[in-house]
Structure 1
């Protein structure tokens, strides 16, 4: 597909055209020319209102349904949703049935998604069936194409298992994802432990449950070496712990979920299970520290933590409902209400080298892999904006600023309807 993107403002600090409005000529998936007013000469043109283009965005934590839960989401539709939401790459959590824990499981995911515009990067389960008891076939999955290993939203209770995993993956430069939550302290908690949980009569989860596990995991990392990624942190103390670990030279990275940057536990007043997520929504004081940690670089990347769930799993009493919200469609518009554009682009792209693949700059001769968006439009997120099969969004009714047009990636142009 040969195209010219007309009058596009490039947002890429590594490009000599950063913040300039230019035309971008793409031929056979390669950026051939960047200049003012390139003549079409038989090329199709892409002209969109207030078009901005950045490096392709990457979401480091996406769950879909297939295999096993196609009623929640299929690979094909999920990748299409990601593309129309501006994501050229996603890391897929091992939440299917069967769980991705063998070489064949990773191969299936890559083969099934090979023709999509959004590239799928599988995360393999760290332990068999994500039960935390026995290490899965990590080396074989790495050879098949797994970019990291972790048990989605499950802490490894057995410190010995995590220790062995951190040591083992160093032989092939593997990345261990260590979700942080002490299950004994969490107990039967379902929301943040605080004023709101007391007022609503819901069992609380203290930030200590997250922080204590982070302390243990960082001690293990210091002992073993290797690479650890701590996903979706949610407390001020967690930020401080990770900042100190980085200062000591530990190879640790972390992410935060968009909903923990935007929403607080005050939205729980009506017991709406769309807001039941893990880690839970915290008070505004914690939210503000997370935003500061994004700005100062302690938090390396931002994720939607997209987790489609059908109505039978969410339309229940609050205690019984499953944790999770979809977030791809609302990701960019929600973030621009609290963060500057260039910071969002940085946090949506910085995770690529951490997960082991290339972050393409927007320069002549480079492979064309970029996101198209309008950062200025204002709108309200509604059910009509949801393209996922599941509708469990915590952002319904939220004011948005900016909207993704789509992506150009793997030689394909995918635009929003």
Structure 2
């Protein structure tokens, strides 16, 4: 019988009667058997770590791993390893691969690659064939194989009628539709937030209007069709207001925000560092504060690292030509915790599981153990030594972070950082 004893762990779980209490936790064969102030067990493997905290396993709703097609950026194997060491028990993997994940075979490929991993991989299927925005992909077949949502990564659904049909069709199997909040006819070739800084730096801007027009249209369609809509990575104050109003009307809409948009602003682009070339772009301080407020009041449903590894050839080049994106799994908790505090951070990293159909259990006796182990207080500078991803395009490189994952216990496996 496999036994694991977590000693003096502070439990962070608002759904548990042990919330914020320091407890010993005994796990047998993946099940929490006992939670008490002190447990003695001579046969269990003991984990005793400085300032140990545990929570329900963290979930990242937007990660990209590259494989198949872009293995030089990240393989599924190394991506899952990075997720585990970064504290994530669950990851939703985007379809931006080559070929695009737009068939049941593509979903099966990802699931097979993750077999035996302590991290649960949930494929996000492309909403349209080859993410081309013209014809719906085989959504029902992908759903049956385990796809948890459908969207064309970083691509809006330009054709309003196509999104209407997708929202209607997915109701047949309670499917979740994603639509990137970006009107490309307005954003055009912008590379950063359109405002004072873009003018001063001489870079083409992406107006907040591009996000807000797309959200407005998509919410009108949702109001007409019904169904479930998830809007990934919002970035503006007005976007928060639009979604807040939609929720008050009873629309079944959820949204996420990238940790970079909660912590950084477009002031970071002063040195033309392409690590800060992100989509959505970093906005201004007013937007950043509105996003934090929206997260705290529940308008924003969760936080994502928006982990997007890019190889050096496509990132370390002229700003206009560099690809958008940053890795983020390794720095996500430390950056978020430093900004909004431990309890709010943990809630933001577990709150989207239900929306994506992922079942989780409170940290109680006889519950399935799917846990993140972490230290909430360690302050450190995020350096290249902290990067586990194959690619090193890190927006938080050199930043002071607070808190670090020790690892996870998931699928009856313990993974700890050395």
Q: TM-score scaled to structure 1, two decimals? A: 0.99
Alignment of 1:9-408 (within 5 A): 9-408=10-409
- Whether the aligned pair in 2 keeps the contact of 1:349 and 1:359 (CA below 8 Å) is no
1:287-327 CA distance string (max 9 Å, x none) = 01101111111100000000001100101111100000000
- Whether the aligned pair in 2 keeps the contact of 1:372 and 1:406 (CA below 8 Å) is yes
1:2-36 CA distance string (max 9 Å, x none) = 20000100001111111111110000000010012
Instruction: Give, in whole Å, the separation in 2 of the partners of 1:359 and 1:211.
Output: 33
Q: TM-score scaled to structure 2, two decimals? A: 0.99
Instruction: Give, in whole Å, the separation in 2 of the partners of 1:396 and 1:236.
Output: 26
For the residue of structure 2 that corresponds to 1:375, the secondary structure is strand
Instruction: Give, in whole Å, the separation in 1 of the partners of 2:215 and 2:14.
Output: 33
Give the Å deviation of 1:347: 1.1
Residue ranges of structure 2 left out of the alignment (5+ in a row): none
- Whether the aligned pair in 2 keeps the contact of 1:277 and 1:325 (CA below 8 Å) is yes
Q: Find runs of 4+ consecutive structure 1 residues off by over 2 angstroms.
A: none
1:187-241 CA distance string (max 9 Å, x none) = 1111000010000000111100000000000000000000000000000000000
Give the Å deviation of 1:37: 1.6
Instruction: Give, in whole Å, the separation in 1 of the partners of 2:381 and 2:316.
Output: 23
Instruction: Give, in whole Å, the separation in 2 of the partners of 1:165 and 1:14.
Output: 34
Instruction: Give, in whole Å, the separation in 1 of the partners of 2:92 and 2:374.
Output: 21
Instruction: Give, in whole Å, the separation in 2 of the partners of 1:53 and 1:31.
Output: 13
1:253-306 CA distance string (max 9 Å, x none) = 000000000110001111110000001000111101101111111100000000
Instruction: Give, in whole Å, the separation in 2 of the partners of 1:222 and 1:148.
Output: 19
1:146-173 CA distance string (max 9 Å, x none) = 0000000001111011000000000000
For the residue of structure 2 that corresponds to 1:253, the secondary structure is strand
Structure 1 stretch displaced more, 332-341 or 390-399: 332-341
Instruction: Give, in whole Å, the separation in 1 of the partners of 2:217 and 2:136.
Output: 19
Q: What value does the CA root-mean-square deviation take over the aligned residues? A: 0.6
For the residue of structure 2 that corresponds to 1:354, the secondary structure is coil
- Whether the aligned pair in 2 keeps the contact of 1:186 and 1:209 (CA below 8 Å) is yes
Matched pairs, number: 417
Give the Å deviation of 1:338: 1.2
Residue ranges of structure 1 left out of the alignment (5+ in a row): none
Instruction: Give, in whole Å, the separation in 2 of the partners of 1:307 and 1:279.
Output: 13
Instruction: Give, in whole Å, the separation in 2 of the partners of 1:68 and 1:16.
Output: 46
Give the Å deviation of 1:340: 2.0
- Whether the aligned pair in 2 keeps the contact of 1:127 and 1:151 (CA below 8 Å) is yes
Instruction: Give, in whole Å, the separation in 2 of the partners of 1:251 and 1:396.
Output: 37
Instruction: Give, in whole Å, the separation in 2 of the partners of 1:399 and 1:286.
Output: 22
- Whether the aligned pair in 2 keeps the contact of 1:179 and 1:231 (CA below 8 Å) is yes
Give the Å deviation of 1:41: 2.5
Instruction: Give, in whole Å, the separation in 1 of the partners of 2:384 and 2:65.
Output: 19
Give the Å deviation of 1:85: 0.4
